[in-house]
Amino acid sequence: MANVAETLREKGLKVTPQRMAIYRMLCETRAHPTAEAIWEKVKEEFPAISFNTVYTTLGILERAGLVQRLHVGEKAAHYDADTSPHIHLCCERCGRVRDLHKAGVDLTEVAQNLRAKTGYEMSKIELNIYGICPECRH
């Protein structure tokens, strides 16, 4: 993983220890945590950090293109530091969100095809598949 401070600086963002901790935490997980879960984790290192700071920081990181916000479920947004277009599998029972890399569908290719067909300049492509995960089915 690239140096977190450097990546933030490259995007023109002010580097603060809190920002670094939030971004690093997202880079180190594949769990697609909610803002609430990120806050709980970052609090271990910065007990005084407010939820608002975490939420605001996530917005800043999203606008800088460093993280993507997944619009899964109605309850809370989930965040992903993997900003490449990829499919997500969402369990309707436990709420877990997983990557689906081997679906045989290349979302970048899909976006390119759609762009040619519709004339839209795609800024974001999100494909979420919902169901019940194997753990919850058993």
Binding-site ranges for Mn ion (CB under 5 A):
80, 82, 99
Binding partner at 67 among Mn ion, Zn ion, none, C-beta below 5 to 8 Å by kind? none
Quote the least distance from Cβ 13 to Mn ion, whole Å: 22
User: What 3-state class would DSSP assign to 57?
Assistant: helix
If one asks whether residue 93 binds Zn ion (CB under 5 A), the answer comes out as yes
Query: Nearest to residue 132, comparing CAs of 84, 94, 101?
Result: 94
Quote the least distance from Cβ 133 to Zn ion, whole Å: 3
Task: Tell me the C-alpha distance between 18 and 37, whole Å.
Answer: 15
If one asks whether residue 26 binds Zn ion (CB under 5 A), the answer comes out as no
Quote the least distance from Cβ 48 to Mn ion, whole Å: 30
Quote the least distance from Cβ 10 to Zn ion, whole Å: 37
Among 40, 45, 83, 94, binds Zn ion (CB under 5 A): 94
Burial of 28 (0-12, 13-18, 19+ CB in 10 A): exposed
Q: State the amino acid at position 129 in one-letter form.
A: I
Tokens 């180190």, residue located = 28
State the residues that interact with Zn ion by CB under 5 A: 91, 93-94, 133, 136
